[in-house]
Structure 1
């Protein structure tokens, strides 16, 4: 069976890290990294080719120009003919926002920076009507549900709920002296959850989550909760993109292998937040613990949204901000902002960028 083609639509930090990881993964026969700057894309492709080759991997790796605002976009992406489309576009990445001296918003207040560009990409990708799996990595716990509620959206995201799992597996393995492959963990959690548990010390007052852990069939959930709260020094800087790239490879792998694969993914099928799932034949199904209903799992992640400054995501995809976020907007842009929709995201994003 031929290996698939991966298209990475980004020449930024995360896109480049995913390129480097994918080039060494053995999962793809062809990898295309594409963006508005063709020269930068080709240089990134050549860097990955050399590095992967030194480690014994030689997929075809090329850099291409792909501009969502160019009339040729649909023709260009059809010519690439990818099996996977991976996007991580934003008008300003989180690490640049952090460097700004402007008054800060809660994380969810910046949703328009991601949504504005992803909406444009979504509309053009829908025109292309590709038979490809779209994985969206731009604040997927929130952006992907908005896209799915307003039309075509990514099948899932990457990162977030995936990233605390190794802490749990490693910690349980060390404490119980059993191999990690004899331990199973199921976690329902939204984006806000990973930051306090991957830190010097987590508060017992974590964002809402559901957790179940077993070792050789024995319930070890309470020990897993203890491990979640253990100090875990962790730096959220540019190097963190390498961690997220590993989450992308885990996601890609679950789609590429033919067997049903248990994994955690954010925004599966457009749901808010992250869940344990099984992936097979390009389909994602929730893999919840029997004690959890689907409604309870979804509600858990919805109740986590205020931790990032979002009160609710409505059925039409509009976002209502918490009072705290509205007050923060007043300090940043000079007026309180109550909500954002897919139609107002571009204008709101420009207000935020100007203030930053």
Structure 2
């Protein structure tokens, strides 16, 4: 395998959405490798993606690479074998479907304490891929698809680069852009943390709390919930939007083109922002009157209130209700942990997850 334009690491629904939409929309020839450990699933994704490229008349071409990223050295071997320009890291030991599940003590802890309960699980494989990418002579552009609002900060704290994530803020920016309340062709810019998504899974009359910040043609929307009352997300992860949202960016990165849109976790920042891609680098593209300090502080305030905070010195701490819930079962985690202890903490919390999944 001589090298590819895009490596999609993972074989779940999110990775499939990425591959299938690249197949349908690639504006120029692009080579894509899909990597994972499920041979039958890999065969299907390759077959379906190449069929979609033929169907839509694009020049995207898909091959596969078999790998188990939990094995020692697997990330290094994968990157060496595939030689990607861009990596979309979508493999995880924690399914996103947990937000729609119930019936045991673990799903209850996540529902009450928040999705940051899963952050270390989402970070494990992405941190390994990021470390392997750092060790490469010519590192790829890394896009982490696993809980990027929080995990990308962990990757940076470990001393590695990460360009951005996909989904989350881009879900909202695109549904707002497609709303009946937005004039056709209007410029929409959004500041949104992943925690903002929960309200849009509720019925319009039940939405409350903090809304995302939205600007239409440079003017901030005063009543976001009221203006976009026509928007309704599903209780399950909205992969049809989130998985698709990063595809134009991935293609622009691979083809050396410019792009603008919205991403979570750009260069490790907390939460989501409007951005611009030029010269292979992502920079914030904030609305008028909002500077970087204000935008970052607004996004950071969500996890500071409840969730997981990554301090400038690399110390990682649970906060709010999540701290209380985790602390009930793992008192040692009350004081937080160093980013370098990620693997040990992940092992500890995996044991906790297994215990709680057996409890009603």
TM-score tier after normalising by the smaller chain length: 0.7 to 0.9
After the TM superposition, which residues 192-231 of structure 1 pair with which residues of structure 2 at under 5 Å, given as runs?
192-201=195-204, 203-206=207-210, 209-214=212-217, 219=219, 221-222=221-222, 226-228=226-228, 230-231=229-230
Normalised to the residue count of structure 2, the TM-score between the two structures is: 0.84
Aligned to 2:231: 232
Could you tell me whether the CA contact under 8 Å between 2:109 and 2:325 is conserved in 1? yes
Shift of 1:98: 4.3
Shift of 1:324: 1.3
Q: Deviations over 1:89-115 (max 9, x none)?
A: 221212146435223232112211112
After the TM superposition, which residues 1-356 of structure 1 pair with which residues of structure 2 at under 5 Å, given as runs?
5-27=5-27, 28-68=29-69, 69-71=71-73, 73-96=75-98, 98-99=100-101, 101-102=104-105, 103-105=108-110, 106-171=114-179, 174-175=180-181, 178-179=183-184, 181=185, 183-201=186-204, 203-206=207-210, 209-214=212-217, 219=219, 221-222=221-222, 226-228=226-228, 230-237=229-236, 240-255=238-253, 260-306=258-304, 308-310=306-308, 312-330=309-327, 333=329, 335=331, 337-338=333-334, 339-342=336-339, 343=341, 344-355=344-355, 356=357
Q: Deviations over 1:199-226 (max 9, x none)?
A: 422634215x433222xx7x36336563
| 3-state SS of paired residue (2:321) | helix
RMSD: 2.7
CA distance in 1, matches of 2:42, 2:61: 14
Which stretch shows the higher mean deviation, 246-255 or 71-80?
A: 71-80
CA distance in 2, matches of 1:71, 1:222: 51
CA distance in 2, matches of 1:323, 1:147: 23
Could you tell me whether the CA contact under 8 Å between 1:157 and 1:266 is conserved in 2? yes
CA distance in 1, matches of 2:221, 2:173: 13
CA distance in 2, matches of 1:257, 1:130: 17
CA distance in 2, matches of 1:99, 1:220: 35
Normalised to the residue count of structure 1, the TM-score between the two structures is: 0.85
Shift of 1:58: 4.5
Evaluate the alpha carbon distance shift between residue 224 and residue 98 of structure 1 in structure 2; reply closer, same or farther with a 3 A threshold: closer
CA distance in 1, matches of 2:75, 2:323: 37
Could you tell me whether the CA contact under 8 Å between 1:210 and 1:297 is conserved in 2? no
Which stretch shows the higher mean deviation, 48-57 or 255-264?
A: 255-264
Shift of 1:55: 2.9
Evaluate the alpha carbon distance shift between residue 236 and residue 243 of structure 1 in structure 2; reply closer, same or farther with a 3 A threshold: farther
| 3-state SS of paired residue (1:30) | strand
Q: Deviations over 1:154-182 (max 9, x none)?
A: 111111111112332233xx347x42x2x
Evaluate the alpha carbon distance shift between residue 48 and residue 352 of structure 1 in structure 2; reply closer, same or farther with a 3 A threshold: farther
Could you tell me whether the CA contact under 8 Å between 1:213 and 1:224 is conserved in 2? no
Structure 2 unaligned segments of length 5 or more: list them: none
CA distance in 2, matches of 1:175, 1:350: 44
Structure 1 unaligned segments of length 5 or more: list them: none
Could you tell me whether the CA contact under 8 Å between 2:11 and 2:91 is conserved in 1? no
Q: Deviations over 1:249-292 (max 9, x none)?
A: 13224435666432111111111111111111111111112311
